[in-house]
Amino acid sequence: MNRGAVRPEVWDRLVARAHLPGAAMAAAGHELYGPIAQPPGTALVIGQVGQSLDGRIATLAGDAQNISGRDGLVHLHRLRALVDAVIVGAKTAVHDNPQLNVRHAKGPNPARVLIDPRGRIPDDRRLFHDDGARRIVIQAVDRPRPEGVEVIRLGLDGDIIAPHRIVAALAALGLTRLLVEGGATTLGHFCSANLIDRLHIAVAPLIIGAGPTGLALPPVDALDDCVRPTVTAYDLGSDVVFDCVFRPRERYTMVAE
């Protein structure tokens, strides 16, 4: 298995390539993070799931803290440091109240994007706190948000806001490198819309036994119809990350409708 460790000087190069205009041509120097540390303006959508050996992201009682080990957490924060914006769904904002900033790696905080179509998430969630990062809500209703929070109003296409319209609206704000952190419903919508370029599944060595899984997709009957991305595994230390790459014909269109 490949090793996911990053030397500090290599990490500095990766962050520079992602955020400093003059460094765009610098070598990335790392198999796992190089494809993500793309120059500003690159269109890229990454998904990330932190899960147990049996594919769970929480207990049935809703305990979702600390599934990932120390190195899995660092990995997640590295991904955040390399993108323009992190996206979460309304239920993650309710259940986890995440900060969505970069604390366990070196690098800038991304913009924080909440998809809250019905405007039901209270203003006191931590992702709304003003720490200098952009804070954005995508909603289908007319609802005021805390001062400084940008609102993108998009209509529903059936039951959901079409993910490609979310990607386009964020691109119009200069946010093209996106990390979809979850939960399963939000990530599933992006996968079904054929928008995820790479999916990082970080597996921690624990077995939960029952509980929600990290990716909600329509069912398939035959294994021949399953998605089979090109996968490379990396040993992070406490966790193993599976870097799943989707070529166009292997994306989720085959199971979406």
Ligand X SMILES: NC(=O)c1ccc[n+]([C@@H]2O[C@H](COP(=O)([O-])OP(=O)(O)OC[C@H]3O[C@@H](n4cnc5c(N)ncnc54)[C@H](OP(=O)(O)O)[C@@H]3O)[C@@H](O)[C@H]2O)c1
Which residues of this protein are in contact with ligand X, per CB under 6 A?
49-51, 57-58, 64, 67, 88-92, 95-96, 115, 117-118, 120, 160-161, 163, 181-186, 189, 214, 216
Q: What span, in angstroms and rounded, lies between the C-alpha atoms of 37 and 248?
A: 21
Distance CA(153)–CA(242), nearest Å, equals 35
Q: Smaller CB distance to ligand X: residue 46 or 49?
A: 49
3-state secondary structure of 135: strand
End-to-end CA distance of the chain: 35
CB of 83: closest distance to ligand X in angstroms?
15
CB closer to ligand X out of 17 and 74? 74
Using CB atoms, what's the residue nearest to ligand X?
183
* Smallest distance, ligand X to C-beta of residue 13, A: 27
CB of 61 to ligand X, least distance (A): 11
State the nearest-atom distance from the C-beta of 45 to ligand X, in Å: 13
Distance, in Å, from the CA atom of 224 to the CA atom of 253, rounded to the nearest integer, reads: 14
- Record the tokens describing residue 203, joined without a space: 């597996």
Structure tokens at 53: 């050996």
Task: Write down the least CB distance from residue 160 to ligand X, Å.
Answer: 3
CB of residue 57 to ligand X, shortest distance in Å? 4
Of 28 and 152, which CB lies nearer to ligand X in the complex structure?
A: 152
Nearer to ligand X by C-beta: 89 or 107? 89
| Exposed e or buried b per residue across 179-205, where buried means at least 16 C-beta atoms within 10 angstroms of its C-beta | bbbbbbbbbbbbbbbebbbbbbbbbbe
Closest CA to 191 of 173, 170, 164: 164
Nearer residue to ligand X within complex by CB, 19 or 70 = 70
What are the C-alpha distances in Å from 232 to residues 152, 171, 198, 229, 243? Answer: 36, 29, 11, 10, 5
158 versus 248: smaller Cβ distance to ligand X: 158
